[in-house]
Structure 1
Amino acid sequence: MFVDKATIYVRSGVGGAGCVSFRREKFVPRGGPDGGDGGKGGDVLMQANKELTSLYDLVSRTHFRAADGKRGQGQGRHGRSGADITIQVPLGTIVRDRRIGSVFKDFTRDGETVVIARGGKGGRGNTRFASSTHRAPTYAEEGQPGQERWLELELKMLADVGIIGLPNAGKSTLLSRITGARPKIAEYPFTTLEVGLGVAEGSEYSLILVADIPGLIEGAHLGRGLGYEFLRHIERALLLVHMVDMAPQGGVSPLEAYRTVRREMELYKPALLEKPEIVVCNKMDLEGSKENLAAFTEAVSSPSFPISALTGEGVNELMKEIVVRLEKVREPSPLY
């Protein structure tokens, strides 16, 4: 199940208390202090994992607490530090502190790890307080408290290619055709209720991560339909593949469909219109598609690729173009 938002509670471990103890040996009747320090509380860490594609695990488990440090002991023995706990998140996860609303961390590299709640220091044992004027201290420190916070996590997919378009444009069929993924496909709108992911083969054994962004509708930028929840996944795609149905069953023409999606992108975030885009004219195997294609290409300045995702017609040529375009845009660039 794809989940792109989660709220979790984290708490690091409390430091162990220092020990009050004195040497008690047979021939040392008045031995000095030998209380050890308490152990440090465990940290809560968060790590990006490229193998993960959803925040689902953080919905089923929302509370994370690291272990407390152990108390110090006599004979100068320090308490054991509390065990750390590491939370795995997908690449593209943005972490915000819910209390202040600021971005705590934006994970963009695999294996990237940060401490999100640091464990408390262990308290000092009475050995630490001995001096030339105070040889038998009878006190020690308590361990320091850990940190706790509520965190809001938001996932913005770091896909190479984002497939966009109105509902029923054939996005899921194309994803299945080029990656072997098996999303739910049917001849009615809103079959896809979550982002679909697949991996396609590029050139020279390179791999391309492809995301099927569920259908956008007019008013998506205001939250209508499924749009607002998924528009943000377009932000980090390197290349957009804009699917347009050339044989629509309703009253929306291919040109209107294309302009609707572009308009919603602009209203959500104008910078999205600057993203590289390949216009794909789908369902060329159906009656009336050729006439619609002629009218569409005359009105739209961008080059278009006529295909049938269902039969595979034109898909190989499209994949070659995707590989070429990705090679041009895979240079490091700002995420926003």
Structure 2
Amino acid sequence: MNYRNLGNRGLRVSAIGLGCMGMSHAYGAPADHREMTELLAKAVDMGYDFFDTAEVYGTPDNPHDNEELLGNALKACRNKVVIATKFGLRFDMESGQVPYPLITDSRPEGIRRSVEGSLRRLQTNYIDLYYQHRPDPQIPIEEVAGTMQDLIKEGKVLYWGLSEASEEDIRRANAVCPLTAVQDRYSMMARWHEALFPVLEELGIGLVAFSPLANGLLSDRYNAASHFDAGSDYRAGMPQFQPDSYDKNRELLQLIRYIASEKNATPAQISLAWMLCKKPWIVPIPGTRRLDRLQENAGAADITLSEEEVKQIDQALDAMPMSGVFGGTK
């Protein structure tokens, strides 16, 4: 595994992180904790040291399942890993609806409750990287940043970041308490956040790319016959996994396959290497429940694309038709 600095605040992480949400939430029935604990141990052995979760990644029966899973699985190697989790979304337990609706809550007292809950579930006395999960229109970002500053002084949080934030919020937050990372959806199919690259570079903030394989489509492991359970797997409703999307994305998948054959790599590895070679401060966090995918994703860090090759890929992506993609289709 290769490693890189996430921004310029001193946080060094594996070049490929592991998004852990899908072990508990959104990608079918929750995975078996014993099997995932074994997988997480193998990830650490492989050199992964950057693990992403959130307090709301869970199930109706256990809304905090994912943090509990990581807390148990990583406690033996806690000083060797970087755990990122998130605050600012909470379950509306009084709604009477199941699954519980999510509502934004970045009030200082809400953040305080969240951090104590996450520390307990993660079985640790500090959180390496703590994100505001989504902007809260009711709370000025300066107030959020001030609370983060206090938590950092107290040693409960080491670094902090924002997810799905605007340039204005990034600048205002950073002016109060310097940000280490911004987490956004980013892939060959979801490039709108490239508009933030200049401000991230200017302020020395890293980008953590979630859904870097467009929820798995760019792995080239699926086709029009692929089936996802509508009751437990969000991909059943995602535009890029509808039967007609494969025709719309044929040119994209052919491009990735061609580059993969040229580089003796897989389509997933090319999709990850493209962003790794774009900027030295981008860290993708693909998720998986499978050892072979974990190994495959790690191998992307060893693939080199030249600046000219990245530019040619970008130009091709600009010009080609694509289906919609979950989480930001304009």
**TM-score relative to the length of structure 1:** 0.25
Task: Give 1 or 2: higher strand fraction.
Answer: 1
The higher-RCO structure (CA 8 Å, 6+ apart) is: 2
**TM-score relative to the length of structure 2:** 0.26
Task: Give 1 or 2: higher helix fraction.
Answer: 2
